[in-house]
A and B are shown apart, each in its own frame.
Chain A
């Protein structure tokens, strides 16, 4: 008989071991899946997990890994603060979009002025836009006790409609022959989030993601606010006795995650994406939720998880075009990763015992 026995406290060893174990299990299950699709499982897994980092064209892919991972990490860092305290911001995608619209909008308003202050102003506007969008669920929760999961999620759809509207009206490229989409930021150097080191894929968004990781680490391990976040997540009752002001914490966590998501959107739209268009957002806000959990809500974990997630995207695309794997199979693989992570979590919180159970 197999029985599960709850550990008195989560195992430290398994907390560290479960993410790599989940990756290995995903590779095995993914390989089986690809074999059923008639592909060579070893080659498929190698194309996805190995080639982008060490293969023939790694010189290109390594930089792209950072480009893809940066927004995921930036958003996930913000989300992890709230998630640790039991505050569930599910609408980072909406904050990402609004941040992009605000940041890009400010920049385009100055077209074609060349001034070194424009870009910092755009970063600020992007953060402010994301923050303001997140303040809607935060304020409603503090004042009326609404559910932030629902409100923040619903606001994603509002933000998507706003994006469609500004792409075809307010921010539309006047020289675009009536087609929706803004000017391309590549043609507007003062507002362009260009590569700082092109071959390494490093742009300001990547820099911001690394800074966010460091700040979050210091905040959580050294600062009283970090302590309050952790204690609220572990025991809201104890937190109240410890003098934590729940409303303040809600405003801080949602606001910070919104601002970081907004910045991520701004960096993406003015850099890799290049222009505001109806569907420039490609689900980073939702994927970041997976990244946050895959990284154990820990800043360093999120950094690694973001890179791993980026790897599955980039390797997955390579597998699509070189091996003809369908897009849905890649999405399935990414879904499996989260599934296995949650499944092996059992090992962190429970001890497996073999042998006969005692009669109750």
Chain B
């Protein structure tokens, strides 16, 4: 007997999960976190959402979590452990858990899996992610307006579609606000490394940037901006309000709570099914943190109007005419980007300088 059948047998034997679509009185929800729950950014927000699930369902839900789970071989064991331990639904909250999630989902057909930011699904494995690029549009608008040197620094994490989308969206909207604006991009090759992030921010500031955008999770760029003085920054993943009103002038907040509540609720109701969710400002998954008083009133009004237009679906941040970096046409006048192109985005838009590393 191979391990798969042993596991499947065990699941049935101890009655860990009922039939796929039955209503349940009680749900056990598991969470796998990539960092410590006190990281102040990405994992902190996911854990906040876990607590919101507990708050919402009270006695009907039990949550378990494991923090700082490495994205390699250990993830698969951590997932199996949770499934064996009786979890009905497991959220895996980092891109690197994609293959382990799919592998374990195969062995536990009655357990539901939810993988954040990935693209592989199964009957019992759904994916979810947020349209951070919508928030980037608002950041770009503010940044383009408040820069005096016309130079904006951008700390990229990894050259993957999600990050490139953010750069393009921010650039398009900064350029609209201020045609003279230029972007300098530094790739840090990390999601969370305060020392590297601070170095990148300092290098960008020394090159003349007076606004720093980041796609990394620590507050180190804010500390570097504060030290340099007269440099603006934006909170990433979490509000980072401790740096308001300067250098933090606004932020993109990931709010996972409504989604987690919805999905755990669906398990309780017996209505859960595998799907891909890509929420934005409209569904509340992406929030814009308070815009501080440093930003001129008029810019703030514009930014909030843009936010509301995106939320209502009236405006798409990628609306033509937009050309690619090499000058070739991408979107015609009035055309909006389709999700497929956005999910695989591997090009800069016209006006950005430098190459995407590959």
* Residues of the A chain whose Cβ atoms lie less than 8 Å from the Cβ of B85: 318, 321-322
Q: How many A-B residue pairs have CB under 8 A?
A: 120
A326 and B344 in contact (CB under 8 A), knowing A59-B6, A177-B161?
no
Instruction: Point out the residue from A169, A199, A271, A317 that lies within 8 Å of B78, measured CB to CB.
Output: A317
Instruction: Point out the residue from B1, B67, B68, B358 that lies within 8 Å of A169, measured CB to CB.
Output: B358
Instruction: Point out the residue from B99, B160, B164, B344 that lies within 8 Å of A180, measured CB to CB.
Output: B160
The interface bits of chain A over 180-196 (1 if a CB of B lies within 8 angstroms of the residue's CB, else 0) are: 11001010000000010
* Residues of the A chain whose Cβ atoms lie less than 8 Å from the Cβ of B84: 57, 60
B243 CB to closest chain A CB (Å) equals 26
* Residues of the B chain whose Cβ atoms lie less than 8 Å from the Cβ of A226: none
What's the dominant secondary structure at chain B's contact region? mixed
Interface residues on B, range: 35 or more
* Residues of the A chain whose Cβ atoms lie less than 8 Å from the Cβ of B36: 327-328
Q: Is A272 an interface residue (CB 8 A)?
A: yes
Give the distance in Å from the alpha carbon of A64 to the alpha carbon of B104 in the complex. 14
A180 and B158 in contact (CB under 8 A), knowing A199-B1, A281-B72, A320-B67?
yes
Give the distance in Å from the alpha carbon of A268 to the alpha carbon of B72 in the complex. 9
- In the complex, the answer to whether A321 meets B82 with C-beta atoms within 8 Å is yes
In the complex, which residues 1-34 of chain B have their Cβ closer than 8 Å to any Cβ of chain A? 1-4, 6-7, 10, 14, 30
* Residues of the B chain whose Cβ atoms lie less than 8 Å from the Cβ of A114: none
Q: Is B96 an interface residue (CB 8 A)?
A: yes
Q: Is B95 an interface residue (CB 8 A)?
A: yes
A191 CB to closest chain B CB (Å) equals 16
A259 CB to closest chain B CB (Å) equals 21
Instruction: Point out the residue from B3, B70, B343 that lies within 8 Å of A279, measured CB to CB.
Output: B70
A57 CB to closest chain B CB (Å) equals 5
Q: Is B189 an interface residue (CB 8 A)?
A: yes
In the complex, which residues 65-101 of chain B have their Cβ closer than 8 Å to any Cβ of chain A? 65-68, 70-74, 76-78, 80-82, 84-85, 95-96, 99
Give the distance in Å from the alpha carbon of A142 to the alpha carbon of B195 in the complex. 34
Q: Is B320 an interface residue (CB 8 A)?
A: no
Instruction: Point out the residue from B73, B80, B357 that lies within 8 Å of A272, measured CB to CB.
Output: B73
In the complex, which residues 272-321 of chain A have their Cβ closer than 8 Å to any Cβ of chain B? 272-275, 277-282, 314, 317-318, 320-321
The interface bits of chain A over 21-38 (1 if a CB of B lies within 8 angstroms of the residue's CB, else 0) are: 000000000000000000
A50 CB to closest chain B CB (Å) equals 16
Instruction: Point out the residue from A59, A177, A314, A326 that lies within 8 Å of B343, measured CB to CB.
Output: A177
Q: Which one of A161, A179, A268, A273 has the greatest number of beta carbons of chain B within 10 Å?
A: A179
Enumerate chain B interface residues (CB-CB to A < 8 A).
1-4, 6-7, 10, 14, 30, 36, 64-68, 70-74, 76-78, 80-82, 84-85, 95-96, 99, 103, 119, 158-161, 164, 189-190, 343-346, 357-358
13 contacts between A and B (CB under 8 A): A59-B6, A67-B73, A168-B159, A169-B358, A177-B161, A177-B344, A179-B95, A274-B99, A277-B71, A277-B72, A278-B96, A327-B36, A327-B67
- 9 other contacts beyond A179-B161, A186-B99, A326-B67, with CB at 8 A cut-off? A56-B14, A59-B10, A60-B6, A60-B10, A198-B3, A273-B73, A317-B78, A318-B85, A327-B67
